Amino acid sequence: MLQATVSGTVIKSSLIEPDGGVLVDARVPESERGSKTLEAELLPKVSLAKIDVEWVHVISEGWASPLKGFMRENEYLQSLHFNSLRMENGTVVNMSLPIVLAIDDETKERIGSSKDVGLVGPEGDLLAILRSIEIYKHNKEERITRTWGTAAPGLPYVDEFIIPAGNWLLGGDLEVLKPIKYNDGLDHYRLSPKQLRHEFDRRRADAVFAFQLRNPVHNGHALLMNDTRRRLLEMGYKNPILLLHPLGGFTKADDVPLGVRMEQHCKVLEDGVLDHETTIVAIFPSPMHYAGPTEVQWHAKARVNAGANFYIVGRDPAGMGHPTEKRDLYDPDHGKKVLSMAPGLEKLNILPFRVAAYDTVAKKMAFFDPSRSKEFLFISGTKMRTYARNGENPPDGFMCPGGWEVLVKYYERSVTEEAMPAAASA
């Protein structure tokens, strides 16, 4: 039985221990919030953008354990050049994405020689204190090319959050004054790693397999998840639990919004495509980089901290089309290959999945059989969105009816909203 101590509370887990052995919890205890807030009021202030708040959320709950705050230069360089951090005892933990806070020249001047700063949210509320800070140069080109492997224009996260960002990075240890809430009706799905570990123990899970996605769940996904559980049972596990864990932070403009995806996922469970008793649906609060094999390591590492000991990986994880050329940005097979040998992920069991497609003979989603390749239809995410946007139905058996109805209604609303400004200007 593995144990991790968090703010004096022992969390037991028979599955896997968090990176560093202790699950970070950077949230200030309620009894100390008043005094810490008064202290923060007197400190130099740093304004956070929405994306920065998402990273505060990620760090504060321990998804990035053993990271305790925004990276100082030593941590940043290790992450950027080695995709990992070396602990004081010599062990290595995976950390493939730099988690940093950019500031501009004016903010740097305002901080001056202060060792601590207060972090202010987009609404003007004090969110956190950053302790024992370090300010260092933000070399954007180095960060972009090391993370994405290209400096081509059109990378969503780069264009929105790195190019316009300040020329300095601010690192330090976080003390978050109150839990991060979004008040969007979905906060009850945002279970922390600590809460997920408790839930796995409550359900007496002897294996947890995590599946991340940023798209609606079709029957091919469900086939994969159900087949994974079958395989784990055959391996001798008695109660494998699925963590269906959609990404909840920033996504690019043409991805289906989080609220719509969560509604669709609930319909998948309601329609019995996945089993309520053996499935936990929760939101992973991280922003999306679309950085392929580099980013998929972060996705896997974060699930280790949540208690998952198996991770499902498929074709082109965290990938996207090249922004200026008609090809994939990354080799579709590199994600699963990198995960199988990534430093610091040795304790995580990687489960590469078989490709599922629509079997036109059986009229259902099935695992692709190369010997009958002409009888299979591949329906991409783009094709699926085109069906829904045009009000067309996909082949029977592609997605449960309730889930498909959610998508159709979303795109009907989108088309109506797009037409309204045009009608107004006419």
Q: Does residue 330 share a domain with residue 302?
A: yes
Distance CA 226, CA 353 (A): 12
User: Is the link from the previous residue into 66 a cis peptide, with omega within 30 of 0?
Assistant: yes
Q: Does residue 408 share a domain with residue 287?
A: yes
Choosing from 142, 176, 210, the residue where a domain stops is 176
| Alpha-carbon separation of residue 158 from 140, 257, 291, 342 (angstroms) | 9, 20, 10, 24
CATH number at residue 289: 3.40.50.620
Is the separation of the CB atoms in 169 and 101 below 8 Å? yes
Nearest to 292 by CA among 260, 336, 249, 323: 336
Within-domain flag for 51: yes
Q: Does residue 57 share a domain with residue 32?
A: yes
Q: Does residue 73 share a domain with residue 212?
A: no
| Structural domains in the chain (count) | 2
Tell me the residue ranges of DSSP E strands in 177-309: 207-211, 240-244, 279-281
Within-domain flag for 149: yes
CATH number at residue 112: 3.10.400.10
Q: Does residue 160 share a domain with residue 33?
A: yes
Q: Does residue 321 share a domain with residue 405?
A: yes
Q: Does residue 231 share a domain with residue 152?
A: no
Q: How far is CA 386 from the centre of its chain?
A: 25
Choosing from 176, 201, 234, the residue where a domain stops is 176
Q: Does residue 302 share a domain with residue 195?
A: yes
Find the angle CA(197)-CA(200)-CA(205) to the nearest 5 degrees.
140
Sequential pLDDT tens for the chain (426 residues): 333 333 333 334 458 999 999 999 999 999 999 999 999 999 999 999 999 999 999 999 999 999 999 999 999 999 999 999 999 999 999 999 999 999 999 999 999 999 999 999 999 999 999 999 999 999 999 999 999 999 999 999 999 999 999 999 999 999 999 999 999 999 999 999 999 999 999 999 999 999 998 889 999 999 999 999 999 999 999 999 999 999 999 999 989 999 999 999 999 999 999 999 999 999 999 999 999 999 999 999 999 999 999 999 988 999 999 999 999 999 999 999 999 999 999 999 999 888 899 999 999 999 999 999 999 999 987 788 889 888 899 999 999 999 999 999 999 887 666 655 554 444
Give phi and psi for 145, each to the nearest 5: -70, -35
Q: Does residue 258 share a domain with residue 116?
A: no
Q: Does residue 147 share a domain with residue 227?
A: no
Range of the domain at 8: 2-176
Q: How far is CA 65 from the centre of its chain?
A: 14
Alpha-helical (H) ranges within 101-218 are 105-111, 140-148, 156-157, 193-202
Within-domain flag for 181: no
Within-domain flag for 163: yes
Within-domain flag for 186: no
Within-domain flag for 320: yes
Choosing from 119, 144, 176, the residue where a domain stops is 176
Within-domain flag for 183: no
Within-domain flag for 424: no
Q: Does residue 410 share a domain with residue 293?
A: yes
Q: Does residue 99 share a domain with residue 56?
A: yes
pTM for the whole structure: 0.93
